[in-house]
Structure 1
Amino acid sequence: MPRPYVLLSAAVSVDGYLDDASPERLLLSGAEDFDRVDELRAGSDAILVGGNTLRRDNPRLLVNSEARRAERVAAGLPAHPLKVTLSASGGLPAALNFWHTGGAKVAYTTDAAAPRLGAELAGLADVVGVGSRVGLGAVLDDLGARGVRRLMVEGGGSVHTQFLAEGLADELQLAVAPLLVGQADAPRFLGTADYPGGPRHRMRLLEARTVGDVVLLRYAPKESDA
């Protein structure tokens, strides 16, 4: 089965942070951009976030618009996309919001951690062991076999870094907010990695436009500008 089309989505500050270092979540986007993200979710077959993001932010990851949910159902789809997460440690508590909202969920982990996580999430999610490490290729292969054709990846930074470093992202959408964080302990959008093509590789720009007070930049990571 073909692998899904992989779209990475993130909101960042001008200096490249996903959040600040305070306990409260820093809202980088405004109402217009949140609605844009909701539209992206509604057009996806699955939404993926890393285990660290689940534990830190405790998100629900739903299609919020009732009209968009109704459109999905009318098209023969579930109201919400499949929700996907990754955790090499398998340390994903059953109390997280992620497991108790929306429709179907799947958690990918190592073969060693799968029995314990499967017991923790019994009745809440399909737990899949994908070997001695949680390789993204194996995850994409399994999602493709489940019929996922479009995968939206919402973070966090380590997950975005891994997808880009392994050359597995088809599209990158960055919403750049007019904020400066500048805190050493705050999470950054990307980490250090051996990215394909190195620092001289120029991704092709697909679109640049304003959405409220943020600027949306769409790139094709696998394609280069001449």
Structure 2
Amino acid sequence: MLDRPYVLLSCGMSIDGYVDSPSDERLLLSNAADFDRVDEVRAGCDAILVGAGTVRVDNPRLLIRDETRRAARIARGLPPDPVKVTVTGTCGLDPAARFFTLGDADKLVYCATPALPSAEEKLGKVATVVDAGDPVDLTRVITDLAGRGVNRLMVEGGGTIHTGFLTGGLADELQLVVAPFFVGDSRAPRFVGDGCFPWGPERRADLTEVRQIGDVVLLRYALSERYRD
């Protein structure tokens, strides 16, 4: 068994499988109740991972919003927020992004080997920069995270990251929220890209839960024998 964290993928998409619009304006794919659910899931994780593209485009905070959940983490001997993790091939990241500047959680940047020197110079004061191989090796990333005490990892995208974890067989669970509308524009990014996925017509993923949350639907899939209900 690979020594790695439990990996939970989380994503929201439109009925036709898009995770954003082609415009610069962020597309909201969820509602207040589901955002609160995601906050609860985050609070139960040791680290949250997003790709560098998500850091650039969405400028996420990746912090626990609910103060009761933050206090509960502290009571368990944990920091109030999970470790923030990003993965980059080129280090096209701004050290002033909210990923780096908000919250006291540790920040880890897994960087492709050729970009390592520039990443350390650019981000070394705001994050820990780690060699992730050439090209970036997600197995190497999560093995290193396990060595840093990360037992439960939440992966929040984007599409390239989700595709890598799924095609690499590195995901244990998928929490997929479907919003009640279509985007209908192929210029918009999708949940995943092309790839050879372990689940197909001959091997269906195991659907373990369907839950309506206001006007969206949560679908939970077990993707490995390590799945925890």
Q: Taking structure 1 as the reference length, what is the TM-score of the superposition?
A: 0.96
Superposed displacement of residue 91, structure 1: 1.4
Question: What is the aligned partner in structure 1 of residue 170 from structure 2?
Answer: 168
**Amino acid corresponding to residue 222 of structure 1 in structure 2:** S
Pairing of 1:52-131 with structure 2 (within 5 A): 52-102=53-103, 103-131=105-133
The number of residue pairs the alignment matches comes to 223
Q: Deviations over 1:10-31 (max 9, x none)?
A: 0111100101112111111000
Q: Secondary structure at the match of 1:120?
A: helix
Question: What is the aligned partner in structure 2 of residue 40 from structure 1?
Answer: 41
Question: What is the aligned partner in structure 2 of residue 195 from structure 1?
Answer: 197
CA distance in 2, matches of 1:32, 1:217: 15
Q: Secondary structure at the match of 1:113?
A: helix
Q: Secondary structure at the match of 1:200?
A: coil
CA distance in 1, matches of 2:37, 2:46: 16
Question: What is the aligned partner in structure 2 of residue 51 from structure 1?
Answer: 52
**Amino acid corresponding to residue 70 of structure 1 in structure 2:** A
Q: Which consecutive unaligned segments of at least 5 residues does structure 1 have?
A: none
CA distance in 1, matches of 2:200, 2:77: 43
2:10/2:154 contact within 8 Å kept: yes
Runs of 4+ in 1 over 3 A off after TM superposition: none
| Matched-pair identity in % | 57
**Amino acid corresponding to residue 98 of structure 1 in structure 2:** F
CA distance in 2, matches of 1:6, 1:191: 19
Q: Which consecutive unaligned segments of at least 5 residues does structure 2 have?
A: none
Q: Deviations over 1:72-117 (max 9, x none)?
A: 0111000000000000111111121100112110000122211111
**Amino acid corresponding to residue 42 of structure 1 in structure 2:** A
Superposed displacement of residue 197, structure 1: 4.8
Q: Secondary structure at the match of 1:117?
A: helix
Question: What is the aligned partner in structure 2 of residue 27 from structure 1?
Answer: 28
Q: Secondary structure at the match of 1:218?
A: strand
1:109/1:133 contact within 8 Å kept: no
Superposed displacement of residue 206, structure 1: 1.1
Superposed displacement of residue 122, structure 1: 2.3
Q: Taking structure 2 as the reference length, what is the TM-score of the superposition?
A: 0.94
Taking structure 1 as reference, are residues 197 and 12 closer, same or farther at Cα in structure 2, changes over 3 Å only?
Answer: closer
2:199/2:205 contact within 8 Å kept: no
